Amino acid sequence: MSEKILNNLKIKVWRQKNAQTKGQFETYPIDNISTDTSFLEMLDILNYQLVEEGKDPIVFDHDCREGICGTCSLFINGRAHGPDDDITTCQLHMRKFKNDETITIEPWRAKSFPVIKDLMVDRTAFEKILQSGGFVSVNTGGVPDGNAIPIGYDDAEAAMDAASCIGCGACVATCKNSSAMLFVSAKVSHLARLPQGQVEAARRAKSMVAKMDELGFGNCSNTGACEVECPKGISITNIATLNREYLKAKIAD
């Protein structure tokens, strides 16, 4: 694909000092952007421009820029991670936009993800859910080699698919109820399908669901938007697995 140059772009971005301050959109012009430039690189270029103009740069979160860590969480033109499928924001390129376009950028909008500044939100709610039950216990005496534990092909594949969740929060940002069910179900489901995860299975399902509710995430209404916008394609069938594991645990009680 040949490189092209985009001009007369308008970046309409949400600016907000902190969670207690009222925010607003501000629009900045930018030119001479290669279509081979990544979206985050475009924001870097814009920030250089703002600094030269004596303005505060736009705060946004990022780390690996390889689609692994999930921190580059932005709502772009009405879609989590922007106008492409199965990608994180750092994998989005400017070839998805055109000359004279206005690009609207917002942070994740969910009560459980308060704004830190501008486009950066506090997603430690996910960490608290994981801490509440996302682990397994192992007897350290004579541990068998992992490859020696028989696991069915279908279970292994389903577990690996669920484990690919990177915790970016796109599911929460996309859901009309700000539900974290897809995230929680991915973490519960991948361990529920493995023999190593059976020791805490009941405790895990109950504690992670309880923590999710405590932190103010909404309920799932089976709209399916979370699956559509998930950069790793996590299936909502995992939510059925979570519901089954939770129901089993409650019946056992």
Residue with tokens 């952007």: 33
Q: Are residues 108 and 22 in the same domain?
A: yes
Residue type, 239: I
Q: Which of 117, 149, 173 is the last residue of a domain?
A: 117
Q: Are residues 49 and 102 in the same domain?
A: yes
Dihedrals phi, psi of 40, to nearest 5 degrees: -70, -35
Is-contact 6 99, C-beta < 8 A? Answer: yes
Q: Are residues 66 and 174 in the same domain?
A: no
Dihedrals phi, psi of 243, to nearest 5 degrees: -60, -40
Secondary structure tally for the chain: helices H, strands E:
8, 9
Q: Provide the 10 A C-beta neighbour count for residue 223.
A: 14
- Token pair in block for residue 128: 């608290």
State pLDDT tens for residues 101-156: 999 999 999 999 999 999 999 999 999 999 998 877 776 666 666 566 778 889 88
pLDDT band at 195 (very low <50, low <70, confident <90, very high): confident
**Burial bucket for residue 147 (CB in 10 Å: 0-12, 13-18, 19+):** exposed
Nearest to 171 by CA among 131, 219, 229, 218: 229
Task: Assess whether pLDDT exceeds 60 at residue 1.
Answer: no
Q: Are residues 13 and 45 in the same domain?
A: yes
Q: Are residues 100 and 211 in the same domain?
A: no
Output the pLDDT for position 146. 58
Q: Are residues 67 and 129 in the same domain?
A: no
Dihedrals phi, psi of 225, to nearest 5 degrees: -65, -30
State pLDDT tens for residues 157-183: 999 999 999 999 999 999 999 999 999
Nearest to 77 by CA among 63, 49, 97: 97
pLDDT band at 92 (very low <50, low <70, confident <90, very high): very high
Q: Are residues 40 and 154 in the same domain?
A: no
Which CATH number is 45's domain given? Answer: 3.10.20.30
Dihedrals phi, psi of 34, to nearest 5 degrees: -70, 145
pLDDT band at 199 (very low <50, low <70, confident <90, very high): confident
- Mean pLDDT to the nearest integer, 218-244: 95
User: What residues does 113 pair with on adjacent strands?
Assistant: 110
- Token pair in block for residue 133: 């039950």
Nearest to 215 by CA among 66, 112, 92, 102: 112
Cα separation, 26 vs 33, whole angstroms: 20
Q: Which of 92, 117, 142 is the last residue of a domain?
A: 117
Higher pLDDT, 107 or 2: 107
Q: Are residues 135 and 107 in the same domain?
A: no
Q: Are residues 81 and 135 in the same domain?
A: no
Count of domains for the chain:
2
Q: Are residues 159 and 89 in the same domain?
A: no
User: Which residue range is the domain that position 110 belongs to?
Assistant: 5-117
Task: Assess whether pLDDT exceeds 60 at residue 203.
Answer: yes
Which CATH number is 168's domain given? Answer: 1.10.1060.10
Cβ-based neighbours of 208, under 8 Å, separated by 6 or more: 129, 130, 132, 133, 134, 184, 187, 188
Q: Which of 85, 117, 149 is the last residue of a domain?
A: 117
- Mean pLDDT to the nearest integer, 61-88: 94
Cα separation, 202 vs 157, whole angstroms: 22
State pLDDT tens for residues 115-128: 999 999 999 999 99
Cα separation, 233 vs 84, whole angstroms: 13
Q: Are residues 240 and 127 in the same domain?
A: yes
Q: Are residues 188 and 246 in the same domain?
A: yes
Output the pLDDT for position 188. 95
Cα separation, 162 vs 148, whole angstroms: 22
Output the pLDDT for position 142. 65
- Mean pLDDT to the nearest integer, 58-68: 94
